[in-house]
Amino acid sequence: MDFVSDTLANGRTFRCLTIVDEFSRECLATHVAHSIRAVHVIEVLEKLRVERGLPEIVITDNGSEFTSRAFDAWAYARGVKISYIQPGKPVQNCYIESFNGTLRDECLNLHWFISLADARRTIEAWRADYNRVRPHSSLGNLTPEEFVEVQSQSEEILANTINAVVPEKLDQLWGSAQRRWCNLVAVTGKGATAPRGGSP
Q: What is the pLDDT of residues 139-156, one digit of tens each?
A: 888 988 888 888 777 655
Residue 100 near residue 20 (C-beta atoms within 8 A) = no
What residue ranges of the chain have pLDDT lower than 50? Answer: 158, 165, 192, 194, 198-200
Q: In what order do the strands lie in the sheet with 27-33?
A: 2-7, 13-20, 27-33
Q: Given this model, what pLDDT does residue 188 score?
A: 54
Q: Given this model, what pLDDT does residue 37 score?
A: 96
The three-class DSSP label of residue 142 is: strand
Beta strand residue intervals within the chain, DSSP E:
2-7, 13-20, 27-33, 57-60, 81-84
Burial of 63 (0-12, 13-18, 19+ CB in 10 A): middle
Q: Given this model, what pLDDT does residue 115 score?
A: 97
Q: What is the pLDDT of residues 60-70, one digit of tens each?
A: 999 999 999 99
Q: Given this model, what pLDDT does residue 196 score?
A: 53
Q: Given this model, what pLDDT does residue 174 score?
A: 56
50 Cβ contact partners less than 8 Å away, ≥ 6 residues apart: none
Residue 58 near residue 82 (C-beta atoms within 8 A) = yes
Q: Given this model, what pLDDT does residue 179 score?
A: 55
Q: Given this model, what pLDDT does residue 180 score?
A: 57
